Amino acid sequence: MKKTAPIGLALAFVFSIGAAGFSRPAPQDPAALTGLVTYVYDGDTIRVRLDTGGEKKVRLIGVDAPEFDDPQESARLSAFLARRFAYSKLNQKLVRLTMDKDKEDAYGRLLAYVWTDGTAMFNEVLVREGFARAYLKYPFDEATKARITAAEAEARRAERGLWAVQPRPVVGAGEASRRVGQVVTVRFRCVRTFDRARFRVLVPAEGEFEAVVPIDVLASFPGSLDFENKTMEVTGLIEEYRGRPQIVIGLPVQVKVVDDPKALRFRPRPGISV
């Protein structure tokens, strides 16, 4: 299993928005562990506060999400989206962990299948939605391997996530509430901005949608940060926060000011780590 890449403080701030619990998964396997997800490192690595005591870093078996330290900007964006997806599904949620033959990897992380209820294995969901690849380098349960392999084949056929060959769909802010859970580009005219805790919030003229940028990430944007009365395109995962759809921005490449005649996407200033 791969080692988790370190993540900058600015990106850590991005994952502090919104969480909702659900009923505790039934411990169908007597050897299973249950606990609360307290942190999401990336698409395939989380931290769980175990009911038996203590917290443990957990690496999902059979999946490989993109890395934040990849030199390609597109790969870093895929890594951010995978982490947002995992965060939206797992953070502060009660989960059940089942293990395979190998209980830990060389870094002391639990190797586990993560269940959000009796039948939904998040490892499989992550791959089926196109946020990670099947990772078959190490041996694990053959039936589960077949499930994850089939999930990747389905994602490829449907051209989801990592397998998308077309640009993300462009929708208006008024449609965002119908796109929760999808990665899209939202085009809107920003009529107001305000700061909420450590975040800058961009408000459109229509709909309930918000684009949310951590202040530390905002510092990596070049040029003017005055977005009011500008037409913008923001790309990311539509999440629901306190009943409103939002996209959280973790990388400058997710934002484009359409009023710019050259329509250039923002690039980080030299020396800024994203």
Instruction: Establish whether 67 is a catalytic residue.
Output: yes
Question: Out of 59, 83, 96, 128, which one is annotated catalytic?
Answer: 59
User: Position of tokens 């999902």?
Assistant: 60
Instruction: Establish whether 109 is a catalytic residue.
Output: yes
Question: Out of 83, 96, 109, 200, which one is annotated catalytic?
Answer: 109
58 touches 110 (CB < 8 A): yes
Tokens of 54: 């203590």
Instruction: Establish whether 208 is a catalytic residue.
Output: no
Please tell me the distance from the alpha carbon of residue 224 to that of residue 219, in angstroms, as a whole number. 11
At residue 188, the 3 state secondary structure works out as: strand
Core vs surface per residue 182-214: b (16+ CB within 10 A) or e: ebbbbbbbbeeeeeeeebbebbbeebebbbbbb
Core vs surface per residue 221-243: b (16+ CB within 10 A) or e: beeeeebeebbbbbbbbbbeeee
Please, which residues bridge with residue 113 across strands?
98
> What's the full length of the chain, in residues?
274
Catalytically annotated residues: 59, 67, 109
